[in-house]
Amino acid sequence: MGPLSIRLPIHSYRAELVEAVKSSRCMVVTGETGCGKTTQLPQFIREAGLASKDSAIAVTQPRRVAAISVASRVAEEAGVELGREVGYQVRFDDCSSSLTTIKYMTDGCLLRELLDDPELSRYGVVVLDEAHERSLATDILFGLVKNLLGKPLSETKARKRELKVVIMSATLNSQQFSTFFDFCPVFEIPGRTFPVSYHYCCPDDGFDGKKLVYMSQMARVVMEIHLDHPEGDILAFLTGQGEIETMCNRLFKMAEEIDYEHDVSCQEICGMKILPLYGAMSTEQQQAVFHGREPGIRRVIVATNIATTSLTVDGVVYVVDCGYVKQLAYNPSTGLDTLSVVPIAKSEAIQRAGRAGRTSPGKGFRLYSAKFFEGLERETVPEIKRTSLTSVVLSLKCMGILNVVEFQYLDPPDEKMVLEALRQLFFYRAINADGHVTDLGRQLVQFPLLPSLARAVLHSRTLACQEVVLPIVAMLSVESVLIRPSSTKDAERALQKHNYLAQVSGGSSDFSTLFTIYQLATSSADMRWWCRDHYVHWRAVNTARSIHQQLQSLLDRQPETDTHETPTAPLSQRIRQALCYGLFGSVARLSPGQRSFRTMDGHSTMCYIHPSSALFGQEEKLDWVVFYELVDTAKTYMRTLCPIRYAWVKELLPQLHDIDVYRLSNCERKREVAGVVAGEDLTLATKKMCQSPKETL
């Protein structure tokens, strides 16, 4: 053990674990969160000589933050430079080399690697970590890895050694994983947890777990704990960056009111240190949460659910849980994935509170009532059952798995969702009417983007506007570009700056605003200063710059299929046309005489322009628009949009009548009970979609 390592429960089982990995091709390892699975097991495997740089260990994580953070921790423990023996790889950021023996990566990255290296020949051991999270990519990896395990070494082409697989999860569902992998052994690391007492902060008939209420309640509860309870850090769970920043400011102000002698230059206030923790933060900022504990100072960590199981913060004795989570889910009424805030599942509530009892007895404060808790779903619905499958279905098809309906899923998705994905891919011309991948489909899969954006990127070359569309797509691929401060004075100033940026770019397209920000920031002499001055996240633009370069080199590698004519339309039109080429599934039309729009994908969802858009308030001037995403809050809002002409999307809009979705699925078992239902629904959708746009209004 290096000087950095503290003794963790897993250390007592080192020899047995190594033996177990040696003697079985596949095993499940479970243990309480924080017992050392993610950081230690890969090191045990490496030190036992079960891996080398030619036969490395891949450890998948559903979240990119976790992959990066854990890799830096392990590199530090092992005393090596990050990116050499220990590295990580996440979308658009590869920090690994030919020397790398332990590679933490997102599950999505490993899935992409399978496209080029179907036998995963670089790896001796694949560890699918955080399996209980049931992320979409991990679920698909289960099936693919199981396939690989079934292949004897003699039948493989590139492998030198047999592949070993380790599934790691918190204490949930280990039996289901073992059963799926032909009843492979389960290794349980006995936990050392302490009792956690629960406190419901809301009476049963009270105003229960409502969003606005939990923000003010949380601030109050945190301050009460701080003032009245013995020492121990507080971990508070909220749903996202905006809420977390607001909460940190609010706590700071409350503490300031108590602590009159507070020294402004000092981070601690009233004996308390307030630390945010969410995915879009920089790695250095995140590391602040793991370091610098000081006696006598109580730390308050305000986090998203990344702190539930992916990242373990030591010293937590009190947990405050808002009871909600931000989740991406397919919305059947709109036919699109939407990000919305929903109640957590019971298992998540239990895991969150459990973080209080890792090193001593703890307390869990729930900002809802016991009745609300009883009413929660037992488990979080696996992502595969709630998000769109378009990307993964295309990947599977590219890997030669034609019949995606009968793929070995741990939990099969709704057949309707698979058919919906196939339908989408058909419209993208990524698969043909027989369900086979087209040349375009093979090109789209090369881009680590949604097929829709990849299509826009490819088409931008045909329309000779890639210098603009690539930066736009890069900016769409980073999280939160604009800083929205919570103090009123700053917020006003930020708004002025943002409005100015929108005006500079013409004031009629949010996509152009993104491009303007990118261009002005990257061409300024001091980008950090420019970003700070314009309330733009420097890190986001910096990341976008790297993504732009990567997209450019991917695009340069794609053969040109379209014949090139010198485009005659003005640039601003070509940009919007290229975007439409990918995003035609997200077009909407203004309802005459109103401020609302209807989507034109056959679902005819009513939606509005998001107040943050440059087009907000200009509804009467608009007719057709294309948008990047829908957000569901009080109403359904379109975010990031621009006006288009119907003529540009007319040919692209779904023409459903002539396709047989069952043919696309390459599934023999055609119209069985479930299938017929799905078929009828689709026929209905078909009819709707084939009506002329006028009639649908």
Q: Which does 70 bind (CB under 5 to 8 A by kind): Mg ion, ligand ADP, none?
A: ligand ADP
> 106 has which bridge partners?
61
Which tokens hold the place of 218? 């949380």
- 39 touching ligand ADP, by CB under 6 A: yes
Residue 643 near residue 625 (C-beta atoms within 8 A): yes
To which residue do tokens 């402004």 refer? 264
Which residue stretch of 35-43, 226-234, 376-384, 423-431 sits at the interface with Mg ion (rule: CB under 5 A)?
35-43
- Measured CA to CA, the distance from residue 665 to residue 662 in angstroms comes to 5
Nearer to ligand ADP, 39 or 577 (CB): 39
- 314 touching ligand ADP, by CB under 6 A: yes
Q: Which does 290 bind (CB under 5 to 8 A by kind): Mg ion, ligand ADP, none?
A: ligand ADP
Residue from 30, 38, 338, 452 touching ligand ADP (CB under 6 A): that is 38
Q: Which does 39 bind (CB under 5 to 8 A by kind): Mg ion, ligand ADP, none?
A: ligand ADP
Nearer to ligand ADP, 36 or 124 (CB): 36
Nearer to Mg ion, 38 or 138 (CB): 38
Q: Give the alpha-carbon dihedral of 577, 462, 650, 599, to 10 degrees.
A: -50
Nearer to ligand ADP, 283 or 655 (CB): 283
Residues within window 44-103 making contact with ligand ADP, judged by CB under 6 A: 69-70, 73
DSSP one-letter string for 286-318: HHHHHS---TT-EEEEEE-GGGTTTS--TTEEE
- Measured CA to CA, the distance from residue 577 to residue 644 in angstroms comes to 8
Nearer to ligand ADP, 57 or 609 (CB): 57
- 34 touching ligand ADP, by CB under 6 A: yes
Nearer to ligand ADP, 177 or 428 (CB): 177
Nearer to Mg ion, 170 or 255 (CB): 170
The candidate with the shortest Cα–Cα distance to 609, out of 139, 594, 444, 307, is 594
Least separation, in Å, of the C-beta of 285 and ligand ADP?
A: 12
- Contacting residues for 500 by C-beta, under 8 A, at least 6 apart: none
Nearer to ligand ADP, 166 or 202 (CB): 166
What phi and psi, each to the nearest 5 degrees, are found at residue 308?
-70, -55
Which residue stretch of 34-42, 375-383, 446-454, 514-522 sits at the interface with Mg ion (rule: CB under 5 A)?
34-42
- Measured CA to CA, the distance from residue 17 to residue 95 in angstroms comes to 28
The candidate with the shortest Cα–Cα distance to 391, out of 113, 628, 111, is 111
State which H helix or E strand residue 31 sits in. Answer: strand 26-31
Nearer to ligand ADP, 36 or 364 (CB): 36
Exposed, middle or buried, 648 (CB in 10 Å: 0-12/13-18/19+)? Answer: buried
Residue from 36, 62, 343, 413 touching ligand ADP (CB under 6 A): that is 36
- DSSP summary character for residue 155: G
Taking residues 253 to 292 in sequence order and writing x for each that binds ligand ADP by CB under 6 A, - otherwise, the string is -------------------------------------x--
Least separation, in Å, of the C-beta of 160 and ligand ADP?
A: 29
Least separation, in Å, of the C-beta of 141 and Mg ion?
A: 16
- Cα–chain-centroid distance for residue 197? 32
β 324-331/272-277 pair status: unpaired
- 38 touching Mg ion, by CB under 5 A: yes
- 72 touching Mg ion, by CB under 5 A: no
- DSSP summary character for residue 96: -
- 35 touching ligand ADP, by CB under 6 A: yes
Number of Cα atoms under 13 Å in the Cβ half of residue 573 = 9
- 33 touching ligand ADP, by CB under 6 A: yes
The candidate with the shortest Cα–Cα distance to 373, out of 209, 214, 234, is 209
Binding residues for Mg ion, rule: CB under 5 A, are 37-38
Binding residues for ligand ADP, rule: CB under 6 A, are 8, 31, 33-40, 69-70, 73, 290, 312, 314
